[in-house]
Amino acid sequence: MTSRFLPVIALITSCFPAVVLGQPRFHVGVEAGVPFTDTLSSSFYSSSNAARSSVDSYHSVTKRLLIGPAFRVDLPKGFGLEFDAIYQRVDYDHLTVSSTPSSPTSTLFYSRSFQQTSANRWQFPMLVQYNWTLSKTKLFTEVGPSISWIGNSQGTSQSIGISGGTTVSSSQNISGGGGTLAGFTAGAGVDLPLLHHHLRPEFRFSHWFSPLSGSTTGVLALVPVSGFIVAGSAGSAFHTNQNEASFLLGLSF
């Protein structure tokens, strides 16, 4: 995975002599925007036959706000470097249902578990930028490695199991899930002067090398019910969409 970043790292390193020979200009600001794509991917799976039926549903509603600080340095020859910390709230619901109908040789077995989890998500793109002027309009493009981190998750889980005439249920709070993904980010936008500041609308695209970002631990307890194990899920991961697109509006000083 590190080898995929080598060309970008080489480009960043090549900019350092320009910092020494030229006069860099530093900017601090804020980025705010909206995602065009779902942050977490939803899924639904069901199967049914004479012996067993099951449902596995994973659902997430994307929070339409991205916001965070931005740090940029303008270098000679139109180059620049930018580092952002973009915050977003994420959540998901995970439902699993399994049932086995009763027969002369077996009793009814039914289990259901439902989990609701929310967490904080941060994206840390490290971008090499190139600026140029077209018809008196200053444009820029950017590309570089990016990190997605999900943590501080909190949620609840409920489960119920029925076997024969026995019913067992459990409910508990959950926390501690999340993880880190590596990827790359590319974008393009316009740099507009605004009262000695910079207003920078842009479009960005990010690709993550893995769709999963950790798992939530301690989701459900293992409960024995008349010889069966009910609600034995080890946890659910944050199913990140591997391809993300967003619009950001930056204001820097």
Please give the DSSP secondary-structure letter assigned to residue 31.
E
Regions of the chain short of the pLDDT cut 50: 1-2, 15-16, 18-20, 216-234
- In this structure, are residues 109 and 231 in contact, taking their beta carbons and an 8 Å threshold? no
Question: What residue segments make up the domains of the chain, in order of their start?
Answer: 2-43+51-252
Query: Which of helix, strand or coil describes residue 94?
Result: strand
CA–centroid distance for 10 within its chain = 27
Cα of 143 vs its chain's centroid, Å: 19
pLDDT of residue 164: 72
> Is-contact 57 76, C-beta < 8 A?
no
Q: What are phi and psi of 18, to 5 degrees?
A: -65, -30
178: left (phi over 0), alpha (psi -120 to 50) or beta: left
Count of beta carbons in the 10 Å neighbourhood of residue 129: 23
Q: Is 202 exposed, middle or buried (0-12, 13-18, 19+ CB in 10 A)?
A: buried
The size of the chain, in residues, is: 253
37 CB contacts (<8 Å, ≥6 apart)?
A: 62, 241, 243, 244, 245, 246
pTM equals: 0.81
pLDDT at 1: 46
Dump pLDDT digits (tens) for 163-216.
Answer: 877 889 999 998 877 899 999 999 999 999 988 899 999 999 999 998 877 654
Distance CA 221, CA 223 (A): 6
Q: Which residues contact 8 (CB under 8 A, 6 or more apart)?
A: 128, 143, 144, 145, 184
How would DSSP label each residue in 172-228?
EEEE--BEEEEEEEEEEEEEEEETTEEEEEEEEEEEES-SEEEE-SS----EEETTE
